[in-house]
């Protein structure tokens, strides 16, 4: 196929892709404990159906210990051609408060060229970018293809990591495309070359056997919630920089967003300042960040006049690519123990960790991607970092050190992933699918093969 034929084939396939994305995103495949499991299995089944539809000769669900199934597909490489592994995940974040959504989270709604709904971007757009790119070749793929679509990335991605370590030959490839990131802005092509790692844990503070009347006991009885608040606020100084020893600020060599762009994308209110020091690229992509992502405390509407005996918080730590998540979380936990007031009882549970990633941007696959992305977007891509984590990437790097790992996708910075009103821009999805299809074609050419 010629590049022009590939572009035409992707464009012709977009109406079908949009309808398939609607169907897939309508499945509430939340793989968190306490959520129904049936929709997760339904999303796996539809993912399997989609992969079969593009002519891949081998498609199957594979069991992942302690997790939902992954979907694997494969087409053998033509003689002398490399093999490319394509990754995405079919599970999604919980929708959260339905009242915060302008449209129902699991009723994908098309508005002004954007499809709104939980998972439309993260990461079911990744699945459809793979499907649409592969469909362009009508079963005659220019290179070897392997596909792995994960079923529990958002909650327990480390379980697929263990699967990869036990089954390296199944996923071995010369290049790996991870479709779970995106461009800074719609139409602004970029390749993510840096990912922060992550550590998360639950902290519990206990002070009393049970709640006691705040009038009779307040002023002397130690309040667990007040203690926890003091501990959590001590993690940062007045400027918002981290106070935990051993977690220094890093430096990102590429260009980050302007403050104006960031404030707009993040929705920072007028008069509210940003936190931390250094450039935004440093803070977002190369430094540690600590966020309290949840609290178990009485609600305002259900509050009673009592001193609280127990309070819990979920704490997430983002770790720069060179940092060690386990060392990092130990430093944070030790700091919290040290600053705990009044001799309160402190415990930690539900620890998860994932390593960061730093790409080598100088290989043949990256050069092929640069050419493909420049043609699809009209200008060459730039390197960017991502503050989020993709647990599998570092495992793939360790297992296949000779493979080039390429991260790009349709999740632009305004896509509101993990938030209400998540959406994917359909023109962006077309450009990303076109990029991927052109990349597969470019990788089969003599110039990419060193011939």
Residue 446 confidence class, pLDDT cut points 50, 70, 90: confident
Distances, alpha carbon 185 to alpha carbons 121, 417, 425, 449, in Å: 14, 14, 10, 32
Tens-place pLDDT, residues 213-235: 999 999 999 999 999 999 999 99
Q: What is the pLDDT of residue 422?
A: 98
Q: What is the pLDDT of residue 197?
A: 87
CA distance 147 to 137: 15
Q: Are strands 83-89 and 144-150 parallel, antiparallel or unpaired?
A: parallel
Can you state the percent helix, strand and coil of the chain, rounding each to 5? Answer: 35, 20, 40
Q: Which residues contact 134 (CB under 8 A, 6 or more apart)?
A: 54, 55, 56, 141, 145, 437
Beta-bridged to residue 74, according to DSSP, are 58, 146
Contact (CB, 8 A) for 288 and 320: yes
Residue ranges of E strands in 37-91: 58-62, 70-75, 83-89
For 73, list phi and psi in degrees, rounded to 5.
-145, 155
In which band, very low, low, confident or very high, does the pLDDT at 254 lie, cut at 50, 70 and 90? Answer: confident
Specify whether the CB–CB gap between 288 and 251 falls below 8 A: no
Q: 201 and 333 in contact (C-beta within 8 Å)?
A: yes
| Cα gap 448→451, rounded to integer Å | 8
| Residue 420 structure tokens | 């209400």
User: Catalytic site residue 259?
Assistant: no
User: Which member of 20, 123, 150, 153 is catalytic?
Assistant: 153
Tokens, residue 340: 């705990």
> With helix as H, strand as E and coil as C, how does 114-182 read?
EEECCCCCCCHHHHHHHHHHHHCCCCCCCCEEEEEEECCHHHHCHHHHHHHHHCHHHHCCCEEEECCCC
Give yes or no for a contact between 416 and 422, defined as CB atoms under 8 angstroms apart.
yes
* Residue 364 DSSP SS3: helix
Rounded-to-integer distance, Cα 140 and Cα 59, Å: 16
Q: 25-59 b/e with 16+ CB inside 10 Å = b?
A: bbbbbbbeeeeeeebbbbbbebbbebbeebbbeeb
Does residue 136 carry a pLDDT above 90? yes
pTM over 0.85: no
What is the model's pLDDT at position 449? 66
Q: Using CA atoms, how far apart are residues 338 and 332, in angstroms rounded to an integer?
A: 10
pLDDT one-digit tens code per residue, 397-419: 889 999 999 999 999 989 999 99
Closest by CA to 285, choosing from 413, 167, 195, is 195
pLDDT of res. 255:
79
Residue 343's Cβ-side half-sphere holds a number of Cα atoms within 13 Å equal to 2
Residues sharing a CB contact under 8 Å with residue 305, sequence separation 6 or more, in sequence order: 213, 214, 215
Retrieve residue 160's tokens.
């697929």
Residue range 277-303: average pLDDT? 93
Rg (CA), the chain: 23
* pLDDT, averaged across the chain: 94
What digits encode the pLDDT tens for the residues 105-117? 999 999 999 999 9
d(CA 446, CA 451): 5
Average pLDDT over every residue of 297-326: 93
Mean per-residue pLDDT for 163-192?
95
Distance separating alpha carbons of residues 109 and 400, to the nearest angstrom: 40
Give the orientation angle of helix 124-135 with respect to helix 3-25, to 10 degrees.
Answer: 140
- Residue 91 among the catalytic residues: yes
Q: What separation, in Å, do the N-terminal and C-terminal C-alpha atoms of the chain show?
A: 19
Annotated catalytic residue, options 20, 48, 74, 91: 91
Give pLDDT, residue 157.
Answer: 66
3-state secondary structure of 237: coil
| Model confidence pLDDT, tens digit, residues 40-94 | 999 999 999 999 999 999 999 999 999 999 999 999 999 999 999 999 999 999 9
What distance in Å separates the CA atoms of residue 401 and residue 395, rounded to the nearest whole number?
10
The two structure tokens encoding residue 362: 């100088």
The pLDDT assigned to 361 comes to 66
């Amino acid at each position: 196929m010629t590049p022009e034929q590939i572009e035409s084939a992707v464009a012709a396939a977009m109406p079908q892709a949009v309808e398939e994305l609607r169907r897939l995103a309508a499945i509430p495949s939340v793989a968190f404990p306490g959520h129904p499991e049936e929709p997760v299995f339904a999303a796996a089944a539809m993912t399997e159906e989609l992969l079969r539809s593009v002519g891949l000769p081998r498609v199957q669900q594979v069991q992942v210990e302690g997790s939902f199934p992954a979907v694997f597909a494969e087409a053998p490489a033509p003689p002398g051609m490399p093999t490319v592994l394509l990754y995405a995940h079919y599970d999604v974040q919980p929708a959260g408060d339905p009242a915060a959504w302008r449209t129902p989270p699991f009723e994908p709604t098309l508005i002004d060229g954007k499809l709104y709904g939980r998972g439309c971007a993260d990461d079911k757009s990744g699945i459809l970018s793979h499907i649409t790119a592969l469909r362009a070749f009508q079963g005659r793929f220019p290179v070897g293809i392997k596909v792995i679509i994960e079923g529990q990335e958002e909650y327990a991605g480390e379980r697929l990591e263990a699967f990869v370590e036990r089954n390296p030959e199944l996923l071995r490839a010369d290049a790996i495309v991870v479709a779970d990131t995106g461009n800074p802005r719609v139409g602004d092509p970029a390749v993510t070359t840096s990912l922060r790692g992550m550590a998360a844990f639950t902290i519990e503070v206990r002070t009393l056997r049970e709640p006691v009347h705040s009038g009779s006991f307040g002023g002397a009885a130690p309040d667990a919630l007040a203690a926890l608040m003091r501990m959590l606020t001590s993690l940062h100084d007045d400027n918002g920089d981290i106070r935990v020893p051993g977690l220094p600020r890093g430096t990102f060599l590429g260009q980050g967003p302007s403050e104006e762009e960031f404030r707009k994308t993040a929705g920072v209110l007028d008069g509210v300042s940003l936190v931390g020091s250094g450039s935004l690229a440093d803070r977002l992509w190369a430094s540690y960040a600590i966020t309290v992502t949840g609290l178990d405390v009485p609600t305002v509407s259900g509050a009673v006049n009592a001193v609280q005996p127990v309070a819990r918080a979920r704490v997430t730590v983002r770790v720069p690519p060179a940092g060690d998540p386990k060392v990092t979380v130990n430093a944070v936990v030790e700091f919290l123990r040290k600053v705990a007031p009044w001799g309160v009882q402190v415990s930690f549970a539900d620890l998860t960790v994932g390593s960061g990633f730093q790409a080598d941007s100088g290989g043949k696959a990256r050069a092929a991607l640069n050419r493909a992305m420049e043609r699809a977007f009209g200008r060459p891509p730039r390197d960017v970092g991502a503050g989020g984590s993709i647990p599998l990437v570092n495992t793939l790097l360790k297992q296949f050190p000779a493979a080039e790992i390429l991260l790009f996708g349709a999740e632009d910075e305004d896509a509101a992933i993990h938030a209400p009103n998540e959406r994917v821009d359909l023109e962006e999805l077309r450009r990303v699918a076109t990029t991927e299809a052109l990349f597969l074609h470019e990788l089969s050419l003599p110039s990419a093969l060193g011939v």
